């Protein structure tokens, strides 16, 4: 029997498979397809202080080996999510979830993180400082080490639950940002978020997305994610959740060998709603074939 359990700052997952924020909603729709309790956990839709309709349409464009999105953090607002969605999750998911917390000011991040921290449904807070789909906040906090340090420290001082910082790949060097988060007291890191990209309709000669640019995700960014996870792993001591183009059990093991302690599955859920289920089922079989008895022993093993 393969031991698939992993430890995220005291939060013990039965397996390392986490559905990523923005691709799984609050889990309710997926619970109608399969028992979502087979997952290690899932990361909720990003929450902002005020409700958001998101960006104008069109806001999704197909790409080779992935997709572009410019959704713009559509959600019902942090207070509504804390009072309703978080409570409803208990009806179909019996494990702690990861709350994706967004903001446009430091004060908003703190307020939203506190709401997540107070919910018994939430086991870990994912601080999203890397969303490329909004014109203010988000990615602006995640590209400057001094601003990032100040934000992470302020949120950590305001909450009790573990805080993982979701970093952007849209920088020349991920290491200073990873170190800044660790120095500020972050319990862990999540990387990578989407790469900034664009598509143009050559017939209309216009950008396909109404917002012009969007986040590129899917299998095409997987090698970039593996590299950045490994770079972060080699410079910090805190745990890392790896994401970016993972779509199979083999991808999961590769990402963990690069240094991730758990992984998030994103775009694959949009392509196939059973993607996470399939990976959870395939993972122990692949581990047995490769002689892996305890999955935590392969973290960062690649040389």
Domain residues of the chain, as ranges? 6-54+75-196+217-298
H/E stretch holding 161: none
The reported pLDDT for the residue numbered 132 is: 57
| Average pLDDT of every residue of the chain | 95
* Pair 212, 234: CB distance under 8 Å: no
Q: What percent of the chain has pLDDT over 90?
A: 93
Residues with catalytic function: 131
Q: Which CATH number fits domain 6-54+75-196+217-298: 3.40.50.1170, 1.10.10.60, 3.20.20.70, 3.40.50.970?
A: 3.20.20.70
Question: Strand 97-101 to strand 66-69: parallel, antiparallel, or no bridges (unpaired)?
Answer: unpaired
The reported pLDDT for the residue numbered 257 is: 98
pLDDT of 140 above 70: no
Average pLDDT for residues 8-30, to the nearest whole number?
Answer: 97
List the one residue out of 214, 292, 271 whose CA is nearest residue 4: 292
CA distance 114 to 246: 31
The reported pLDDT for the residue numbered 237 is: 98
pLDDT of 187 above 60: yes
pLDDT of 136 above 70: no
Backbone CA torsion sign across 195, 116, 48, 74: positive
pLDDT of 134 above 80: no
CA distance 42 to 265: 9
H/E stretch holding 115: helix 106-118
Question: Strand 122-128 to strand 195-197: parallel, antiparallel, or no bridges (unpaired)?
Answer: unpaired
pLDDT of 138 above 70: no
Query: What is the 8-class DSSP label of residue 18?
Result: E
* Pair 93, 65: CB distance under 8 Å: no
pTM of the model: 0.95
List the one residue out of 224, 193, 215, 217 whose CA is nearest residue 271: 217
The reported pLDDT for the residue numbered 130 is: 76
The reported pLDDT for the residue numbered 161 is: 98
Q: 160, exposed or middle or buried, with CB in 10 Å at 0-12, 13-18, 19+?
A: exposed
Average pLDDT for residues 293-301, to the nearest whole number?
Answer: 98
pLDDT of 133 above 70: no
The reported pLDDT for the residue numbered 139 is: 55
Q: How far is CA 37 from CA 31, 109, 251, 269, in A?
A: 9, 29, 21, 16
Q: 33, exposed or middle or buried, with CB in 10 Å at 0-12, 13-18, 19+?
A: exposed
Query: What phi and psi values does residue 75 have, to the nearest 5 degrees?
Result: -165, 170
pLDDT of 218 above 80: yes
Question: Can you state the angle between helices 145-158 and 175-183, rounded to 10 degrees?
Answer: 30
CA distance 127 to 166: 6
């Amino acid at each position: 029997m393969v031991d698939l359990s992993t430890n995220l700052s005291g939060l013990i997952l039965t397996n390392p498979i986490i559905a990523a924020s923005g691709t799984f909603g609050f889990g309710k729709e997926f619970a109608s397809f399969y028992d979502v309790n087979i997952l290690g956990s899932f990361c909720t839709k990003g929450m902002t202080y005020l409700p958001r309709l998101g960006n104008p349409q069109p806001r999704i464009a197909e790409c080779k080996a992935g997709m572009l999105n410019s959704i713009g953090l559509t959600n019902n607002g942090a207070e509504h999510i804390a009072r309703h969605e978080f409570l409803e999750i208990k009806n179909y998911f019996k494990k702690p979830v990861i709350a994706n917390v967004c903001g446009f000011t430091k004060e908003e991040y703190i307020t939203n993180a506190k709401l997540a921290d107070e919910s018994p449904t939430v086991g870990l807070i994912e601080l999203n400082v890397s969303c490329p789909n909004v014109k203010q906040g988000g990615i602006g906090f995640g590209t400057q080490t001094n601003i990032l340090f100040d934000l992470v420290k302020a949120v950590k001082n305001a909450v009790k639950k573990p805080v993982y910082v979701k970093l952007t790949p849209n920088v020349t060097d991920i290491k200073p940002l990873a170190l800044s988060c660790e120095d500020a007291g972050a319990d862990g890191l999540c990387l990578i978020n989407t790469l900034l990209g664009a598509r143009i309709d050559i017939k209309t000669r216009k950008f396909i997305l109404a917002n012009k640019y969007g986040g590129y995700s899917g299998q095409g960014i997987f090698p970039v994610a593996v590299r950045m996870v490994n770079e972060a792993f080699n410079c910090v001591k805190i745990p890392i959740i790896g994401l970016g183009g993972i779509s199979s059990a083999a991808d999961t093991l590769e990402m963990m060998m690069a240094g991730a302690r758990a992984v998030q599955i994103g775009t694959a859920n949009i392509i196939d709603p059973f993607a996470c289920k399939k990976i959870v089922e395939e993972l122990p079989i692949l581990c047995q074939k490769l002689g892996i008895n305890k999955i935590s022993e392969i973290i960062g093993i690649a040389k």
